Amino acid sequence: QPLSTYGLGWALRDARLRGCPKLSVIHFDNCFNLSTEVLHTVAPYADAADGFANYTFFTAGEAYALAFEQLGAQGQYSSLALAKQLSLATHELLKKPGDGYPAVGGALALNRMEGIADGIEALSDALILLMQRDGNAARDLIQAAIVKAQNYDTDFPQELETPDQLTDIYSLANALLDFAAKDLGVVTAAKALCGLLNEVRVFGDVGHPAMAPQFEWNFAETTLAMNIFLPDPL
């Protein structure tokens, strides 16, 4: 069975307490783990991580040789450089003609996650204050921003739309910048969070997923970073 997010964090903490060295890179080679909650949980136990905000399709170790070959050719040997190359090498495997696996991948140094979490909290506080002040009008504005933001589908029929479970936090913060004429607190917090999430995205595809070819998944937006749990806004 897969580990829960809590279970993964507990296992990594336990390993460190037993004397295992801090990990250089965690390569999340599975679906939906370029995730705010997951990355924040593992941040104390590794230097960098890469993963995929929506679906990916397990490639086992097939990407490793290509990643190390590309890393050697560049002559860059940092943890973050390896994380980016693992993301790109997996992407090379996923974008083979006919596979139909459009994905969005990213990588980051995990010491960024504490600041990102603080930025999300500041934005949450600003949104709560807005709702306390303006009630249903604020709720409708926030809901419109959620609908505008990039969503990642976890269930059939696989159309990227609300209602859904996961939303890109960078895309949502960017959508909330439209509040410029409505609430300075929200805009200030959203702008700060956008700055904290910049350059996490490594690639974003546009294509038709094999399991639902009637839909196009478009991850070309540059303001993508990682998903966050955000259930049906209704």
Whose CA is closest to 176, among 232, 113, 124? 124
- Relative orientation angle of helices 113-134 and 184-197, to the nearest 10 degrees: 160
pTM: 0.92
pLDDT tens for residues 184-217? 999 999 999 999 999 999 999 998 888 888 888 8
pLDDT tens for residues 165-177? 899 999 999 999 9
CA dist 100 and 98 (Å) reads 6
